[in-house]
Structure 1
Amino acid sequence: MLALEAAQAACSILLPYAIKKIMDAVALAQLLKVEVWNEVEPALWLFAGLNFGIVLFSRASGAMLVLLGPTLRLQVRRELFSYLQGHSQRYFLSHFAGSLANRISEVALGVANTLWTVLFDFWPLIITFSVSLVLMMGVNLQMALTLALWIAVYVLISFFLARRCRRYAQKYAAARSLVSGKIVDSVTNIQNAKLFARREYEQRYLEDYLLQEVNIARRTFWFMERIRWFQFVAAMILMLGIIGYALKIWSENAMTVSEFAMSASLSLMLIEQARGLSRRFLEFFEYTGNINDGVSRIIQSHEIMDHVDAQPLIVTHATIQFQQIDFSYVNGRPVFQSLNITIRSGEKIGLVGFSGSGKSTLFNLLLRLFEPQSGTILIDQQNIQAVTQESLRNSITMIPQDPILFHRSLLENIRYGRLNATDDEVIAAAQKAHAHEFIVASEAGYQTLVGERGVKLSGGQRQRITLARAILKNTSILLLDEATSALDSVTEHHIQDSLAYLMRDKTVMVIAHRLSTLSHLDRILVFQQGKIVEEGSHNQLLQRKGHYAQMWSMQAGGFLPQSEL
Structure 2
Amino acid sequence: MRFFPTIKPFRPASTNPPTTTWKFFLWAVQGAWPGILWATFWSACSGSMEAISATILGDVIDAANTANPSTVFSDHLWLFISFVGLYLIARPLIFGLTTHAAAIVVEPNLFPLILSRMHRWTLGQAVTFFDNDFAGRIAQKQMQVARAATDVVSGSIETMAFSLASVIGSVALLSTINGWISLLLVGWIAAYILFIRGFLKKVRGASGARAAARAMVTGQIVDTVTNMKTVKLFAHARHEDGVALEAMNGFRDKAIEYGIISSWFRLSLMALAGVLPVLLVGATVWLWSQGGATSGDIAAAGAIAFRLAQMTGWVSFSLMSIFGNLGEVEDGVKTLTPPYTLQDATGAKEMPRVRGEVQMEHVTFAYGRKTEDGRGGVDDLNLSIKAGEKIGIVGASGAGKSTLVALLLRLYDAEKGRILIDGIDVRTVTQESLRRQIGMVTQETAMFNRTARENIMYGNPAATEDMMIAAAKQAEAHEFILNLRDFAGRKGYDAYLGERGVKLSGGQRQRIALARAFLKDAPILVLDEATSALDSEVEASIQDALTSVMRGKTVLAIAHRLSTIAEMDRIVVLDAGRVVEQGSHAELLAQAGLYARYWNRQSGGFIGTDEKEAAE
* TM-score with structure 1 setting the length: 0.96
Aligned counterparts of 2:310 and 2:76: Cα–Cα separation in 1: 29
Instruction: Report which stretch shifted further, 306-315 or 424-433.
Output: 306-315
Question: Cα offset for 1:556?
Answer: 4.8
Identity across aligned pairs (percent)? 35
Aligned with residue 354 of structure 1, among 396, 400, 410: 396
Deviations 1:60-118 (A, max 9, x none): 22223224322111111111111001000111100111011111111111111111111
Letter of the aligned partner of 1:42 in structure 2? W
The alignment status of 1:146 with 2:179, answered yes or no, reads no
The alignment partner of 2:412 has SS state of coil
Question: Cα offset for 1:244?
Answer: 2.5
Letter of the aligned partner of 1:548 in structure 2? Y
Where does residue 128 of structure 1 map in the other structure? Answer: 166
1:97-496 aligned within 5 A: 97-330=135-368, 335-443=377-485, 444-496=491-543
Where does residue 550 of structure 1 map in the other structure? Answer: 597
Aligned counterparts of 1:563 and 1:425: Cα–Cα separation in 2: 43
Gaps of 5+ in 1: none
In the TM superposition, structure 1's runs of 4+ consecutive aligned residues that sit over 3 Å from their partners are 330-334, 556-565
* 1:526–1:548 Cα contact (<8 Å) kept: yes
Question: Cα offset for 1:325?
Answer: 1.3
Gaps of 5+ in 2: 1-38, 486-490
The alignment status of 1:36 with 2:83, answered yes or no, reads no
Question: Cα offset for 1:346?
Answer: 1.1
Letter of the aligned partner of 1:454 in structure 2? G
Query: Structure 1 residues 78, 177: closer, same or farther in 2, change over 3 A?
Result: same
Aligned counterparts of 2:278 and 2:524: Cα–Cα separation in 1: 81
Deviations 1:224-249 (A, max 9, x none): 32222222211113332333323322
Question: Cα offset for 1:34?
Answer: 4.3
The alignment partner of 2:324 has SS state of helix
The number of equivalent residue pairs is 563
Deviations 1:165-217 (A, max 9, x none): 21211111111111101000000111111112211111111111111111111
The alignment status of 1:509 with 2:556, answered yes or no, reads yes
Aligned with residue 99 of structure 2, among 53, 62, 73: 62
Aligned counterparts of 2:427 and 2:119: Cα–Cα separation in 1: 24
* 2:563–2:605 Cα contact (<8 Å) kept: no
Aligned counterparts of 1:413 and 1:563: Cα–Cα separation in 2: 36
Deviations 1:319-375 (A, max 9, x none): 111112121225555622211111111111111111122111111111111112222
Deviations 1:7-46 (A, max 9, x none): 222123211111111111111223xx64222134322222
The alignment partner of 2:447 has SS state of coil
Question: Cα offset for 1:562?
Answer: 7.7
Question: Cα offset for 1:557?
Answer: 7.2
Query: Structure 1 residues 271, 478: closer, same or farther in 2, change over 3 A?
Result: same
The alignment partner of 1:305 has SS state of coil
Aligned counterparts of 1:560 and 1:325: Cα–Cα separation in 2: 25
* 2:206–2:258 Cα contact (<8 Å) kept: yes
Letter of the aligned partner of 1:530 in structure 2? G
* 1:163–1:282 Cα contact (<8 Å) kept: no
| Alpha-carbon RMSD | 1.8
Aligned counterparts of 1:25 and 1:13: Cα–Cα separation in 2: 18
The alignment partner of 2:50 has SS state of helix
The alignment status of 1:498 with 2:565, answered yes or no, reads no
* 2:570–2:582 Cα contact (<8 Å) kept: yes
Instruction: Report which stretch shifted further, 238-247 or 480-489.
Output: 238-247
